[in-house]
Structure 1
Amino acid sequence: MSTPALPLPPPAHEQPLPPALPGPGGIRLLVGVPYAAMPGIRPLELDLYLPAGADISPVVVFLHGGGWRLGSRHGAGPMYRDASPTPFERVAQAGIAVASVDYRLSGEATFPTQLHDAKAAVRWLRARAGELGVDPDRVAAWGESAGGHLAELLALTGDAAALEGDVGFPEPSSRVSAVAAWYAPSDVAAVATDTGADPGDPDTREARLLGAPARDVPDLAALASPVTHVSPTAPPALLLHGQDDRFVPCVQSERLRDALAAAGADVELHTYPGADHMWLGAPDAAADAFDRTAAFLRRHLIDGGEQS
């Protein structure tokens, strides 16, 4: 006689939400919430910053940087480390919820796993929108560096079945309606050439993301490049980049800007003289980049896309 199976709890991403914590300016925080669970692997988590007093709010998914190798959902980059309130708190205070997302890094899995995770986070927000108080029809993406790359891919790949992955809720849509990307690698195949690195080096950040140098896996490198996915249906994009970026040269955002413009998409690129990667060396650029991003998100998530 077989032993009956023990009852198992629902997957972590289906379990009850934790109690909200109070934040500055009346916002509410849900910390360490699982958005996707996989057998034998830690649940993937996000932090959610919810506006004060709103029954339903638009939401932006934030994806952190770190060369796909490090980093976490807890910050928007070193230039904002001591900011109080934080960038996420300021966006929530302005009426837009922020879901800051962890995703699997290149030491855990190679591409397209990272995009699968980002898409799962969007699907989770929509699947539980009623409980969370977020509007499933007003979802944007925002990221810095490697996270900016994933945010661009979220915006440009829509509901492409081959890139959805199989973690978390299988539905609803993973589409986003606008994207803001800071100093993002938009043409993965060309990063080594643009930086003057050896394109055959297996230890570059992008080679570790792909599992091999981009030149050795050209089809995968193209799949991982936002410029490959440009179309006339791309949502509005704000691209911000330092002109003196040594790690992800500004030409990466220029290339994506040109491709989006040629397709007839709504795109704006603003560059900052003297700003290195992560806005290092340019605190004024860091302040302006946040202000431009907050205004862009408000325009497309609250004001209906109208120019302010």
Structure 2
Amino acid sequence: MKNSLRGIVLPLTLVVTLLPANLAAADQTYAVTLDQPVHGRFSVDPALPADGRYPAGTVVTITTQPDTGYTLDAGYYSVPGRWGAMYHESPTPVFSVVIDQDKHLGASFIEAAAVAHVTVRDNIVYAQPGKKPLKYDVFSPVGAKNRPIIVIIHGGGWTTNDEDVMRGLARELTRGGQFVVASIDYRWAGKADGDATANSMVNLIEDCYGAIAHIREHAADYGGDPTRIGVTGDSAGGHLSASVSLMVERIGTRGFGREPGVFEFKPTYVPAGKSVAELKAEMLVAIRAAAPSYGVFAGAWLKADPENPAADASWDQAVQPLHAIPAATGRAVPQYLTRGTRDPLITDAMVTEFMDALVKAGQRVQYVQVGGAEHAFFDWKPDAKTKATFAEHGVYYAAEMKAFFASVLQP
């Protein structure tokens, strides 16, 4: 476990070691761009050659210095990816980069006052069922005790990003000291993590339940109350947060699809000395509300296990929140739904269908369309455009989301 405190203005040395799968020939070089920082500066060692190219395998050490009144948000490198520039970040003081392809290097800074209210514990590992250690970050308001917990599940098409992309939302939800927030990571679908066996949507849901189990087990250490939990997430995380909130009844050990009509999720992590049945009973009481943002709730994108020939439509429906809504008379799970009016991926009809199904089940639901917003307005990345989008839409609707959770989780 690595612990760090954000909000302290100090010179930070970032040294990140990332081992390439295959080092290129010794004489190969790669282009490196040093992004212009704002509200701080950084240097690289060894210095970037005049032609802007490092030999393959060069380990670059980055040293950063925030301006007065600012602190390090994250050091990073970025490479082209599925959604444009994909950032690989670390908020820790030591960050190193191995040059194994063309890369951008940089550092993002934030006003120290923006994070002075919160203590952050980074990269807490809760399980490792495959190649990638599964982890989460905890954002605790200074002096927090017995606060309700909001769990954030990141998006990225189920195959990209990690918990870092939700830190802006986490910081906003902790503002005012009402909530402890945990932002979680999970296995990527298919073989995106490099696993020999493809990860199914079932695995991802089980990871989310495992993360919540670990967070609940250590809630007192974080200043949180394990009996009052809300979940949120955006895009793919919108699907996963809705699933986690609505499918608690199907936590179990009988497997997913091994028996006709039986679709159960076994959390990736179960606390020692506790049975899955005991964990299920606790989560049925603890998980009380969800705020899925521009999520996917049904349809062709949600396949339970695409590589399993036994998987049929009933398997797929079992990972789709639209088909998992409990009657409110049995278990009330209020939902707060958001979507940008200019979202090119998630349509109004998709969210409305889910809203209507919640209403039919007697569940409390609020659906807010965010005027002018596109997809992923709750994301936080080092680039100026993402930060500006979050400032324009994310900050305000994070406050609205916080009010929703307060109405359910505050005593």
TM-score, scaled relative to structure 2: 0.58
2:197 counterpart of 1:102: no
Does residue 226 in structure 1 map to residue 321 in structure 2? yes
Match of 1:129 in 2: 219
Give yes or no for contact 1:241–1:271 (8 Å, CA) kept in 2: yes
Task: Report the alpha carbon displacement of residue 140 of structure 1 after superposing the two structures with TM.
Answer: 0.7
SS at match of 2:116: helix
8 Å Cα contact 1:51/1:57 also seen in 2: no
Q: What corresponds to 1:256 in structure 2?
A: 354
1:291 Cα deviation after fit: 2.3
The structural deviation recorded for 1:246 is 1.8
- Deviation of 1:149 (Å): 0.4
Q: Provide the C-alpha distance between the structure 2 equivalents of 1:224 and 1:248, rounded to a whole number of angstroms.
A: 18
Q: Cα 1:20–1:299, aligned 2, differ >3 Å: closer, same or farther?
A: farther
2:127 aligns with 36
- Describe the shift of the 1:248–1:133 C-alpha distance in structure 2 as closer, same or farther (beyond 3 A): same
Q: Cα distance, 1:125 vs. partner? A: 1.4
Range that drifts further, 284-293 or 105-114: 284-293
Shift of 1:27: 1.6
Distance in structure 2 (CA, Å) of the matches to 1:256 and 1:121: 25
Query: Deviations along 1:264-302, whole A, 9 cap, x unmatched?
Result: 111111113433222499764434322211221222222
Q: Does 1:113 align with 2:196?
A: no
- Of 361, 366, 380, 1:268 maps to 366
Contact persistence 1:58–1:97 (CA under 8 A): yes
- For residues 247 and 267 of structure 2, the distance between their equivalents in structure 1, rounded to whole angstroms, comes to 16
Alignment check: 8 A CA contact 2:298 2:321 kept: yes
Deviation at 1:143, TM superposition (A): 0.3
- Aligned equivalent of 1:188: 299
SS in 2 for 1:28: strand
SS at match of 1:179: strand
Partners of 1:274 and 1:282 within 8 A in 2: no
Quote the Cα distance in structure 1 between the aligned partners of 2:370 and 2:307.
32
**Partner AA of 2:349 in structure 1:** V
Q: Show CA shifts across 1:210-238 (max 9, x none).
A: 4269xx83122211110100122241100
Structure 1 counterpart of 2:399:
291
Distance 1:254 1:89 in 2: 29
Q: Cα deviation per residue 1:176-207 (whole Å; 9 max; x = unaligned)?
A: 11100110001134x5xxxxxxxxxxxxxx45
For 1:239, the equivalent position in structure 2 comes to: 337
The answer to whether the 8 A contact 1:25-1:93 is kept is no
Deviating more after overlay: 63-72 vs 289-298: 289-298
Distance 2:268 2:145 in 1: 29
Partner amino acid, structure 1, of 2:364? D
* Cα 1:271/1:211, change in 2 over 3 Å: same
Greater helix share, 1 or 2? Answer: 1
SS in 1 for 2:128: strand
Supply the AA of the counterpart residue of 1:289. Answer: Y
1:160-239 alignment, distance < 5 Å: 160=250, 161=252, 162-169=263-270, 171=274, 172=279, 173-175=282-284, 176-189=287-300, 206=302, 210-211=305-306, 217-232=312-327, 233-239=331-337
**Cα contact 1:36–1:169 (8 A) shared by 2:** no
Does residue 93 of structure 1 match 2:183? no
Q: What letter is aligned with 2:225?
A: D
Deviation at 1:107, TM superposition (A): 2.9
Q: Is the 8 A contact 1:26 1:52 kept in 2?
A: yes
Q: Which has the higher contact order (CA 8 A, sep 6+)?
A: 1
1:278 maps to 2:376: yes
Cα pair 1:46 1:101 within 8 Å, conserved: yes
- Give the C-alpha shift of residue 20 in structure 1: 5.1
**Partner residue, 1:66:** 156
Q: Percent identity?
A: 25
TM-score normalised according to structure 1 size: 0.76
Task: From the superposition, tell whether residues 159 and 125 of structure 1 become closer, same or farther in structure 2 (CA, over 3 Å).
Answer: farther
The count of aligned residue pairs is 260
Larger Rg: 2
SS in 2 for 1:116: helix
Which deviates further from its counterpart, 145-154 or 168-177? Answer: 168-177
User: How far apart in 2 are the matches of 1:253 and 1:234?
Assistant: 19
- In structure 2, C-alpha distance between the alignment counterparts of 1:18 and 1:276, rounded to whole Å: 35
The one-letter code matched in structure 1 to 2:147 is: S
Measure the CA separation in 2 of the matches of 1:131 and 1:298: 22
| 2:165 alignment partner, SS class | coil
Decide whether aligned partners of structure 1 residues 231 and 31 sit closer, same or farther in structure 2, where only a CA change above 3 A counts: same
Q: Quick check: which one's strand share is greater?
A: 2
